[in-house]
């Protein structure tokens, strides 16, 4: 079942999509990606623009140094040099590009240093099926092996899952917004982490005023029990989505209503991509802390009549590129006018390129290598890589995939690190290998790149805490009684989940406390809940961990009853306040914040 189709099973919305401003929306997850306030900005955003159907990169970025070869391969389709927009006369010959005449806005943004064009992008052993190629681009796979071609989670989701391993699919900390929004009609945004319910909610539409009321009408009574079948699994998935939709619906509506687009910018009408990007800008102006937006424009599968006979500057492809160009130019102008230009990077990509040699219908069949664009004030403007080699063709007259200059994961990985602040470990976890961490592609300016000392990843912090329960304390020996342990009254599993609290380790190792609690050498007194809280907002619990307290007062890891408690994925450079909770005593919190350093 397609993920977008889940709304159709609910009778109140059987034939009615959910709209906010006329654009389909889906969401996944919640808090900010960049939490180390002393190190890096907390409000950076990546907007992904997917050109669905395989854009013809060669007609988009015509290689001027190979124009005669290009015209020879496409006698009925090539763009004459007189019709092209020269991108940058200062570039080396191998990078000289003639932009399609529809890309006047891209040229304008390039001239202000806000565009980088990456050439020769692909993957090892590419797949030429739209569906499989898109799945590979969004899952982080390739066709090199069975393992890499059958990844069942999305790379964006894995990046976020690495950053927030304890996220449960609802707002937490001071972050009310979903981690990401999918706009448009994407079947899969690459947002599925291994625990897929937590990160993706499929919504369809964009009507801010009616959004919450429509969302809240989805579904009916909970299905219980869910059958242990494939059908049952789909039902469980849908129910998980429905719950998350209800949680985020009012937030999305309120954020949209709080925002406004710049009065000085006019978005093009009858342009679906422009509607999506206009919504992104408005939500950001309304204070959205969403970090990844996915938008899409369809129609690029131009097997026939890509160009008009007799005028190759017009036709289907020209219209598509004009819509994309106008939408992105208005979006960037809007961001700049709203004062948000330095917070957003836009990445434009397609699942593969098209063949070099035309077919008999003024069109082009499925190819291999393509190009990407990265756009924004923080972008290192220019061209990365040389023009695709039109002499190096495979047996099907497409660019030889072995001539690939940039793996698409190398491009996204560089953005995730330099723009979003992901550590090497985080990028490795995102793409399931360390192959695409280095060499990075220099796409972000040095002034905008995240300092390596501030990379976010699986930073481990040990917390040494000593507490005493007054009722059981012997003031002479400075130790507590462990009568509960002696009487076998200490539960072997943490009790805080049953109390409605959420210790981060509650599912890590069921029965973890059995050895520590029953070992007389550890002298365990009872369970406690250890929490890290924000320095400036101590009511926000950032991490919590069920732990044990010994007779001597030290709070220890529940797995062995000896080691200090360890918190993973804690932001370096932040200060925290530490609190300790107990089932039968008032909680305590440090009066001063604690600097954990790196």
pLDDT tens-place string over residues 396-416: 999 999 999 999 999 999 999
Residues 315 and 334 in one domain: yes
pLDDT of residue 185: 62
User: Are residue 87 and residue 24 in the same domain, yes or no?
Assistant: yes
d(CA 541, CA 503): 10
**Band of residue 514 on the pLDDT scale cut at 50, 70, 90:** low
How many whole angstroms separate alpha carbon 444 and alpha carbon 114?
Answer: 10
Q: Are residues 262 and 196 in the same domain?
A: yes
Instruction: Specify the pLDDT at position 573.
Output: 60
Residue 12, domain member (yes or no): no
Same domain, residue pair 183 and 254: yes
What band does 545 get if pLDDT is binned at 50, 70 and 90? Answer: confident
When pLDDT is cut at 50, 70 and 90, the band that residue 591 belongs to is confident
The SS3 call for residue 111 is: helix
- Widest pairwise Cα distance in the chain: 99
- CA–CA gap between residue 579 and residue 591 (Å, rounded): 10
**How does DSSP assign 213-282, residue by residue?**
HHHTTS--SPPSSPPSSHHHHHHHHHHHHHHHHHHHHHHHHHHHHH----TT--PPSS-HHHHHHHHHHH
Please state which of the ranges 86-95, 100-109, 273-282 shows the lowest mean pLDDT: 273-282
- pLDDT tens figures, 147-197: 888 887 788 878 877 765 555 555 654 456 777 778 876 544 554 443 433
8 in a domain, yes or no? no
Instruction: Please give the Cα distance from 492 to 329 (Å, whole number).
Output: 60
Helices 130-139, 155-163: inter-axial angle, 10-degree rounding: 20
Both tokens assigned to 329: 């130019």
What pLDDT score was predicted for residue 413?
Answer: 95
Q: Are 93 and 386 in contact (CB under 8 A)?
A: no
Lowest mean pLDDT among 224-228, 520-524, 559-563, 591-595: 224-228
Task: Let me know whether 341 and 195 are in one domain.
Answer: yes
Measured on CA atoms in the order 164, 169, 173, 177, is the torsion positive or negative? positive
Residue 478 domain flag:
yes
Q: According to the per-residue pLDDT averaged within each range, which of 302-311, 507-516, 558-567, 585-594 is highest? A: 302-311
Label residue 557 by pLDDT band (50, 70, 90). confident
Secondary structure of 528-597 as H, E, C letters: EEEEEEECCCCCCEEEEEEEEEECCCEEECCCCCCCCEEECCCCCCCEEEEEEECCCCCCEECCCCEECC
Please check whether residue 11 lies inside any domain of the structure.
Answer: no
Q: What pLDDT, on a 0 to 100 scale, did the predictor assign at position 43?
A: 74
Quote the pLDDT of residue 280.
92
The answer to whether residues 313 and 101 touch, using CB atoms and an 8 Å cutoff, is yes
Count of structural domains, the chain: 2
CA distances from 41 to 306, 449, 548 (A): 43, 11, 36
pLDDT of residue 22: 55
Of 436, 454, 472, which residue sits at a domain end?
454
- The strand pairing partners of 546, in sequence order, are 529
Sequence-ordered list of residues with C-beta below 8 angstroms from that of 143, at least 6 positions apart, any chain: 123, 124, 125, 126, 127, 136, 149
Residue corresponding to tokens 């062995």: 560
Higher per-residue confidence, 274 vs 22: 274
Predicted local distance difference test score (pLDDT) of residue 222: 46
Q: 220 vs 396, which has greater pLDDT?
A: 396
78-82, 210-214, 263-267, 514-518: least confident range: 210-214
60, 325 Cβ separation under 8 angstroms: no
pLDDT digits (tens, 9 = 90+) for 318-339: 999 999 999 999 999 999 999 9
Cα separation, 165 vs 168, whole angstroms: 9
Return d(Cα 515, Cα 520) in angstroms, integer.
10
Give the pLDDT score at 494: 81
Per-residue pLDDT at 521 exceeds 60: yes
- The partner residues of 524 in beta bridges, in order of sequence, read 550
Burial per residue of 370-399, b for 16 or more beta-carbon CB atoms within 10 angstroms, e otherwise = bbbbbbbbbbbbbbbbbbbbbeebbeeebb
Average pLDDT over residues 188-215: 38
Mean local confidence (pLDDT), 46-68: 97
Q: What is the pLDDT, as a whole number, of residue 220? A: 39
- Weakest mean pLDDT among 48-57, 135-144, 181-190: 181-190
The whole-number pLDDT of residue 176 equals: 67
To the nearest whole number, what is the mean pLDDT of the chain? 79
If you average pLDDT over residues 412-429, what whole number do you get?
A: 89
Tell me the pLDDT tens digit for each residue of 333-386: 999 999 999 999 999 999 999 999 999 999 999 999 999 999 999 999 999 999
d(CA 78, CA 50): 24
pLDDT, tens digit (0-9, with 9 covering 90-100), for 569-587 = 566 567 788 899 988 888 8
Start-to-end CA distance of the chain, whole Å, equals 45
Cis amide leading into 225 (omega within 30): yes
Q: Are residues 490 and 402 in the same domain?
A: no
In this predicted structure, which of 52-56, 141-145, 403-407, 422-426 has the lowest mean pLDDT?
422-426
- pLDDT at site 201: 33
- DSSP-derived 3-state class of residue 350: coil
Residues 140 and 90 in one domain: yes
Which residue range forms the structural domain that includes residue 383?
A: 20-454
Half-sphere exposure of 434 (CA within 13 A, CB side): 3
Q: Is residue 153 part of a domain?
A: yes
Is the pLDDT higher at 203 or at 483?
483
Dihedral class, residue 557 (left if φ above 0, else alpha if ψ from -120 to 50, else beta): beta
Q: Pick from 454, 469, 504: which residue ends a domain?
A: 454
Encode pLDDT of 87-102 as tens digits. Answer: 999 999 999 999 999 9
Q: Is residue 298 a part of any domain in this protein?
A: yes
Structural element, H or E, at residue 158: helix 155-163
Is pTM, for the whole model, over 0.95?
A: no
Are 410 and 470 found together in one domain? Answer: no
Q: Are residues 418 and 472 in the same domain?
A: no
449-484: pLDDT as tens digits: 987 766 765 456 778 889 988 878 888 888 998 888
Residue 61 within any structural domain of the chain? yes
Residues 6+ apart with CB under 8 A from 495: 527, 583
CB 2 within 8 A of CB 199: no
Task: State residue 157 phi and psi, 5-degree precision.
Answer: -60, -40
Q: 190 by DSSP, 3-state: which?
A: coil
Strand segments, DSSP code E, in 319-460 are 344-349, 370-375, 382-384, 406-407
In this predicted structure, what is the pLDDT of residue 268? 96
503: pLDDT strictly greater than 90: no
Cβ count within 10 A of residue 131? 11
Q: Among 106, 156, 184, which residue's Cα sits nearest to residue 375?
A: 106
* 14, part of any domain: no
Comparison of pLDDT for 22 and 258, the residue scoring more: 258
Mean pLDDT for the stretch of residues 32-56: 69
pLDDT score of 435: 73
Is residue 201 classed as helix, strand or coil in its secondary structure?
strand
**pLDDT of amino acid 509:** 40
Separation between Cα atoms, residue 32 and residue 371, nearest integer Å: 30
pLDDT of residue 385: 98
Residues 222 and 290 occupy one common structural domain: yes
The Cα 466–Cα 286 span in angstroms is: 44
Hey, what's the torsion of the CAs at 434, 439, 442, 444, to 10 degrees?
20
Mean pLDDT of 133-146: 90
Q: Token digits for 453?
A: 């000392």
Q: Do 245 and 347 lie in a common domain? A: yes
**pLDDT computed for residue 42 by the predictor:** 55
How many whole angstroms separate alpha carbon 202 and alpha carbon 238?
9
Domain end position, chosen among 416, 431, 454: 454
Give the pLDDT of residue 207: 42
When pLDDT is cut at 50, 70 and 90, the band that residue 314 belongs to is very high
**Does residue 297 share a domain with residue 249?**
yes
Rounded Cα–Cα distance for residues 481 and 471 (Å):
9
Beta strand 575-581 pairing with 588-589: antiparallel
Buried b or exposed e, range 74-109, using 16+ CB within 10 angstroms: beebbbeeeebbebbeebeeebbbbbbbbbebbbeb
């Amino acid at each position: 079942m397609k993920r977008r189709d889940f709304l159709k099973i609910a009778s109140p919305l059987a034939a009615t999509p959910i709209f906010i401003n006329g654009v389909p929306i889906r969401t996944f997850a919640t808090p900010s990606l960049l939490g180390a306030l002393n190190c890096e900005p907390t409000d950076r955003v990546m907007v992904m623009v997917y050109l669905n159907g395989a854009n013809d990169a060669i007609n988009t970025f015509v290689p001027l140094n190979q124009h005669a070869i290009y015209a020879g391969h496409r006698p009925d389709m090539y763009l004459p040099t007189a019709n092209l927009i020269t991108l940058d006369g200062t570039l080396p010959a191998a990078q000289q590009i003639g932009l399609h005449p529809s890309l006047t806005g891209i040229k304008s943004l390039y001239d202000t240093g806000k565009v980088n064009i990456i050439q020769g992008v692909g993957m090892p052993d590419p797949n030429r099926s739209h569906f499989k190629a898109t799945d590979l681009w969004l899952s982080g796979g390739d066709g090199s092996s069975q393992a890499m071609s059958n990844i069942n989670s999305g790379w964006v989701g894995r990046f976020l899952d690495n950053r927030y391993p304890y996220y449960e699919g609802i707002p937490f900390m001071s972050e009310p917004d979903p981690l990401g929004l999918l706009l448009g009609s994407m079947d899969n945004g690459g947002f599925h982490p291994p625990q897929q319910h937590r990160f993706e909610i499929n919504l369809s539409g964009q009507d801010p005023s009616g959004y919450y009321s429509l969302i809240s009408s989805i579904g009916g009574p909970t299905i219980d029990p869910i059958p242990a079948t494939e059908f049952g699994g789909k039902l469980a998935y849908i129910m998980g989505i429905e719950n998350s939709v209800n949680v985020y619906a009012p937030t999305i509506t309120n954020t949209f209503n709080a925002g406004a687009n710049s009065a000085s910018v006019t978005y093009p009408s009858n342009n679906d991509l422009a509607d999506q990007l206009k919504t992104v800008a408005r939500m950001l102006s309304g204070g959205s802390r969403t970090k990844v937006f996915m938008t899409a424009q369809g129609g690029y599968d131009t097997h026939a009549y890509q160009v008009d006979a007799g005028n190759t500057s017009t036709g289907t492809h020209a219209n598509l590129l004009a819509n994309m160009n106008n939408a992105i130019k208005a979006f960037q102008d809007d961001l700049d006018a709203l004062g948000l230009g330095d917070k957003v990077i836009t990445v434009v990509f397609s699942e593969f390129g098209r063949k070099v040699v035309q077919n008999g219908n003024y069109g082009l069949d499925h190819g291999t290598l393509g190009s990407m664009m990265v756009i924004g004030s923080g972008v290192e403007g220019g061209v990365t890589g040389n023009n695709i080699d039109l002499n190096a063709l495979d047996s099907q007259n497409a660019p030889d995939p072995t001539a690939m200059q940039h793996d698409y994961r190398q491009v996204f990985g560089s953005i995730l690190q330099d723009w979003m602040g992901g550590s090497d470990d985080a990028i490795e976890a995102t793409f399931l290998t360390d192959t695409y961490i280095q060499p990075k592609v220099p796409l972000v300016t040095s002034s905008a790149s995240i300092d390596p000392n501030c990379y976010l990843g699986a930073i481990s912090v040990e917390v040494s805490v000593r507490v005493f329960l007054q009722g059981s304390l012997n003031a002479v020996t400075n130790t507590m009684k462990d009568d509960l342990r002696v009487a076998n009254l200490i539960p072997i599993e943490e009790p805080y989940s049953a109390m409605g609290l959420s210790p981060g380790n509650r599912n890590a190792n069921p029965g973890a406390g059995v050895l520590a609690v029953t070992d007389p050498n550890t002298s365990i007194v009872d369970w406690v809940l250890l929490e890290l809280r924000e320095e400036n907002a101590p009511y926000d619990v950032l991490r919590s961990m069920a732990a044990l307290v010994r007779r001597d007062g030290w709070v220890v890891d529940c797995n062995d009853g000896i080691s200090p408690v360890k918190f993973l994925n804690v932001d370096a450079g932040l200060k925290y306040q530490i609190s300790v909770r107990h089932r039968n005593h008032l909680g305590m919190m440090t009066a001063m914040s604690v600097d954990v350093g790196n």
